[in-house]
Amino acid sequence: MSCSSSSASEEEDEGLDSYRKGGYHAVRVGDSFNGGRYIAQRKLGWGQFSTVWLGYDTQSSVYVAMKIQKSAPQFSQSALHEIEVLSAISDGDPSNSKCVVRLVDNFKHIGPNGQHLCMVLEFLGDSLLQLTRYNRYKGLELNQVKEICRCILIGLDYLHRELKLIHTDLKPENILLLSTINPSKDPIKSGMEPILEKPEGNVNGGTTMSFIEKKLKQRARRAAARISGRQENTRGVGATPKPPRSLEGIDLRCKIVDFGSACWGDKPLAEEIQTRQYRAPEVILQSGYSFPADMWSFACTAFELATGEMMFTPNLGQDYSEDEDHLASMMELLGKMPKKIAIGGAKSKDYFDKFGDLKRIRRIKYGSLDRLLVDKFSFSDSDAKEFAKFLVPILDFDPLKRPTAQQCLQHPWINVGV
């Protein structure tokens, strides 16, 4: 989950049963942390390991995002790793200009469920996933895509070249705008007065509030489902589609967040990294990964920003796996995988024969990225050609041939028309 998002996912509640020994810490609006320095304002979201709260820093008079980890030892261990990574990121970027989230503080908080490690991060806005949703899954204008891509590449160049860090889970959800799309959700733009003490009557604890929130959300979800069901029935019967919203005036500067699974370049932590749709071929084949795996995810993200759709959405077939469908989709778009790459991984024999052909998916319709951009997404020939010229090298099946973030920042496409 995006660790400092202003509107992290609350589509499902975290559940009351997780508020127990070893689990989440129950937070109430007005609760104070770290000797009274931070005051909880409202819940922003939750993840498997933590809840995230908007906090007010009384020392510097700014709003922050407080990530409060579950208290069981395995969660504390992962939090210590994330704190180590975030500290290195902040220490190496004193001017806060490298397009990566900033760690403000970290501390331990003792509650009824145990000792919780807490990270305080700068407060950021909505994710690029939320931006795409807001734009109704239409592609952004290419000059907007370039602006966002430049920020992501500045962040990746800093992580890879200066810190020797691999993010391992780059995707639109883990890149946050500096401010919220909706100004009323931004505590500063909305003129929100900070809560500095517990509101009267707020004595029953966060778990009671969570339960009430949960019931209200369930009711709202059911109502939304009924409405969308009615809309489904009217679709195509003269229903007038709403025009897409304009993104004018939205600050597109952004930062890379969520370093819970990041690793040092010389110490990969896990064999399987990355969210499925953004996973690099070397990760699927288990042939070893490094910084170029992040670059593959970056290219998938850039495509999604420009088209509104994911580049790869593999499916499980009757006689082939999701991994095989993923590899076949890559080849349909990018050409046949070189034999030495196809057979070079620990899992290659599961998918490829000795000639470097897929065992179970034989009929592959080869296409090209620029044709897809023209035929499916109505790009002009010149826009498609220039964008493909930028993306295709980053999607080289050979990780060693992919350009670095630093090289991508020098590419003509990223520097023209912004």
User: Can you give the CATH number for the domain in which 104 is found?
Assistant: 3.30.200.20
Q: 386-392: which pairs have CB atoms within 8 A and are 24 or more residues apart?
A: 386/412, 386/413, 387/142, 387/306, 387/413, 389/413, 390/302, 390/414, 391/299, 391/302, 391/303, 392/334
Alpha-carbon distance 116 to 23, whole Å? 9
Does residue 308 sit in the same domain as residue 323?
yes
Does residue 312 sit in the same domain as residue 366?
yes
Whole domain around residue 337: which residue ranges? 128-181+246-415
Integer CA distances (angstroms), 348 to 122, 198, 285, in order = 43, 58, 5
Q: HSE on the CB side for 389, CA within 13 Å?
A: 10
Alpha-carbon distance 159 to 137, whole Å? 29
| pTM for the structure as a whole | 0.87
- Name residue 17's amino acid: D
Whether 299 and 317 have beta carbons less than 8 Å apart is answered as no
Integer CA distances (angstroms), 404 to 158, 160, 292, 394, 408, in order = 11, 9, 7, 8, 6
- In this predicted structure, what is the pLDDT of residue 136? 95
Q: Is the dihedral angle over the CA atoms 247, 277, 227, 212 positive or is it negative? A: negative
Low-confidence ranges of the chain (pLDDT < 50): 1-3, 5-11, 203-208, 211-212, 215-216, 227-244
Does residue 135 sit in the same domain as residue 172?
yes
Does residue 75 sit in the same domain as residue 166?
no
Whether 170 and 294 have beta carbons less than 8 Å apart is answered as yes
Q: Please say which residue of 79, 107, 124 terminates a domain.
A: 124
Does residue 410 sit in the same domain as residue 262?
yes
Angle subtended at Cα 198 by Cα 197 and Cα 202, rounded to the nearest 5 degrees: 170
Looking at residue 24, the DSSP 8-state letter turns out to be P
Alpha-carbon distance 403 to 298, whole Å? 12
Angle subtended at Cα 67 by Cα 66 and Cα 73, rounded to the nearest 5 degrees: 140
**Nearest CA-CA partner of 293 in 304, 280, 302:** 280
Does residue 173 sit in the same domain as residue 310?
yes
Alpha-carbon distance 310 to 384, whole Å? 17
End-to-end CA distance of the chain: 31
Give domain status of residue 26, yes or no.
yes
Give domain status of residue 163, yes or no.
yes
Whether 104 and 122 have beta carbons less than 8 Å apart is answered as yes
Q: Please say which residue of 93, 124, 155 terminates a domain.
A: 124
Give domain status of residue 217, yes or no.
no
Does residue 91 sit in the same domain as residue 154?
no
- In this predicted structure, what is the pLDDT of residue 8? 43
Whether 410 and 158 have beta carbons less than 8 Å apart is answered as no
**Total tally of structural domains belonging to the chain:** 2
Q: Which residue has the tokens 């810190």?
A: 163
* Bridge partner residues of 38 (DSSP): 33, 57
Question: Can you spell out the DSSP letters for 315-381?
Answer: ---SSS-HHHHHHHHHHHHH-PPPHHHHTSSTTHHHHB-TTS-BSS--------HHHHHHHTT---H
- In this predicted structure, what is the pLDDT of residue 214? 54
Does residue 137 sit in the same domain as residue 98?
no
Q: Which residue has the tokens 């819970």?
A: 260
Q: Is 257 exposed, middle or buried (0-12, 13-18, 19+ CB in 10 A)?
A: buried
Angle subtended at Cα 167 by Cα 38 and Cα 7, rounded to the nearest 5 degrees: 45
**Nearest CA-CA partner of 40 in 157, 198, 148, 170:** 198
- The sheet with strand 32-33 has its strands ordered as 32-33, 38-46, 50-57, 62-69, 114-122, 103-111
For residue 349, give the CATH number of its domain.
Answer: 1.10.510.10
Give domain status of residue 200, yes or no.
no
* Bridge partner residues of 374 (DSSP): none
Binding residues for ATP: 67
Binding residues: 67
Phi/psi for 270 (5° steps) reads -135, 150
- In this predicted structure, what is the pLDDT of residue 88? 98
Angle subtended at Cα 75 by Cα 94 and Cα 166, rounded to the nearest 5 degrees: 45
Give catalytic residues, as residue numbers.
169
Q: Please say which residue of 80, 96, 124 terminates a domain.
A: 124
Does residue 324 sit in the same domain as residue 390?
yes
Does residue 25 sit in the same domain as residue 168?
no
- In this predicted structure, what is the pLDDT of residue 217? 56
Give domain status of residue 186, yes or no.
no
Does residue 120 sit in the same domain as residue 142?
no
